[in-house]
Amino acid sequence: MKKLEILIIIIFILMVPFQNTVEAHSGRTDSSGGHNCSEKSKSKGLCTGYHYHNGGSSTSSNSNSNSSTPVSNDKDCTDFSNYDEVVKYWNAKGYSATYDPENLDGWGNGVVDDGIPCEAPSGYDKTLINKSPEQIQFKQDQNDEKEGNTQGYSKGLKDGYAEVAENSEVLEKSEAFTQGYASGYNKGYTAGKEKIETEKENATKDGYTLGKEQDNLVIPNIYASNENLKALFEEGFNKAITERIEAKKKEYIKLGYEDGKKDIASPPKEIEEIYIESYKDGYEQGQKELRDNYVNDGYEAAFKLINYENPALENEKYINWFKEGYESNTLVDTIEEIAFNQGVEGEEMDVSSEYIKGEAIFTYYYQLGYQEYEKQVEQAQKTAAGGLGTIILAWLGRRFYVVKKMIA
């Protein structure tokens, strides 16, 4: 019995502080567990009118039956100086629409409102509020955008690399996912294009390098699986092979040319036909230049030789080329005619600049003409002395005609 009394006393002692705490808070709320919002709280945007706290309701009789048990250190919206403090406190406590032991959300009747504590001011960024619908949607949008960006980048990279037309459309997805997908796709497509362009350059370069080193085409596996890269590798290889062939052909053309100028034919043997033909082409060029040299020598000699003379050459071919050039000089014929006419007319010799190269020929034929002129004058004088002036003059006219005819 004594032990039971002691236990009752202990329980009573423990109950007294708790009761005092409850009564201390009741001064801030009415008997229903609520109160009117103060002007100070209204100005801060913390509340707008009458509201409840600590699970209170319009009927005091059922206040003890509320599922939310009041705590001794609960907060009222009027306890905060601004709404940022409300959010900071709410977030620090980890409160949410489904966990609000201090009833900062709703109207203090224990019924959850919208997961927003103390009525947020107009325009406030509710995504900052822990587990608010806006924050939940914001995070969902972030996740959707991130996932869309990842998928879009992957698809864009593939399309860009394959060099197909851009297509960033996506169906039946959220707006955030669609936006993220489009952004990721564009970045991926650009990266894919850059990647394939780099590989195309490398394929051409690597093919060219191989072609410079060997004649046998061997396509690496990294290019063999892609038709475009394979074709570019072959293109680079073939370009190098062509350059090597052309360079070698030039070598044989040069060799043939040098032999042609020396007039010594020594075509290569046991070599591909294209290089033999290159040698022949070069040899023909050398022979032509050699021939042109002798022909030109003959042409120039015609300006100096009154009568043709074979050059002091042992090779009959060279002599023929020389003579061909001599006979091709028709300008000398013109010089002879003009020079003779000057002489036969008794004019003073005048060699124009265009005939100065054939001055020796000009002088020779001028003298011939002048000698003819002197004969005609002498004959005319004799005839005039014999009284046959008229007949002589007629004869001289006829003579001039004959001389000109002979020159022509």
Pair (156, 121) in one structural domain: no
Pair (11, 124) in one structural domain: yes
Pair (18, 121) in one structural domain: yes
Q: pLDDT at position 375, please? A: 92
Give pLDDT tens digits for 222-268: 999 999 999 999 999 999 999 999 999 999 999 999 999 999 999 99
Pair (354, 371) in one structural domain: yes
The packing angle between helices 359-385 and 331-344, to 10°, is 30
Q: Degrees (nearest 5) of the Cα angle 162, 166, 172?
A: 115
Torsion of CA 335, 336, 339, 340, to 10 degrees: -160
Pair (48, 115) in one structural domain: yes
Q: Is residue 87 assigned to a domain?
A: yes
Q: Is residue 382 assigned to a domain?
A: yes
Pair (117, 152) in one structural domain: no
Tell me which residue range forms the domain holding 303: 238-325
Pair (145, 120) in one structural domain: no
- In order along its 408 residues, the chain shows pLDDT tens digits of 455 566 566 655 555 443 433 333 333 455 555 656 666 556 655 566 665 544 444 433 333 334 444 444 678 888 899 999 999 999 999 988 888 888 888 644 555 567 888 888 889 998 999 988 889 989 999 999 999 999 999 999 999 999 989 988 887 889 999 999 999 999 999 999 999 999 999 999 999 999 999 999 999 999 999 999 999 999 999 999 999 999 999 999 999 999 999 999 999 989 999 999 999 999 999 999 999 999 999 999 999 999 999 999 989 999 999 999 999 999 999 999 999 999 999 899 999 999 999 999 999 999 999 999 999 999 988 888 765 555 555 555 555 555 444 444
Helix (H, G, I), strand (E, B) or coil at 81: coil
Pair (154, 265) in one structural domain: no
Strand-strand pairing, 34-35 and 51-52: antiparallel
The packing angle between helices 133-162 and 175-213, to 10°, is 30
List all residues 6 or more positions away from 141 whose beta carbon is below 8 Å from its beta carbon.
174, 175, 176
End residue of a domain, out of 269, 290, 325: 325
CB 160 within 8 A of CB 191: yes
Distance separating alpha carbons of residues 85 and 117, to the nearest angstrom: 11
CB 233 within 8 A of CB 207: yes
Q: Which residue has the tokens 């410079």?
A: 212
End residue of a domain, out of 261, 294, 325: 325
DSSP state of 310: -
Distance separating alpha carbons of residues 185 and 384, to the nearest angstrom: 119
Distance separating alpha carbons of residues 119 and 398, to the nearest angstrom: 141
Q: Is residue 223 assigned to a domain?
A: no
The tokens for 224 are 């063999």
Pair (124, 168) in one structural domain: no
Pair (126, 160) in one structural domain: no
Helix (H) or strand (E) holding 232: helix 227-262
CB atoms within 10 A of CB 205: 13
The total number of structural domains in the chain stands at 4
Pair (51, 172) in one structural domain: no
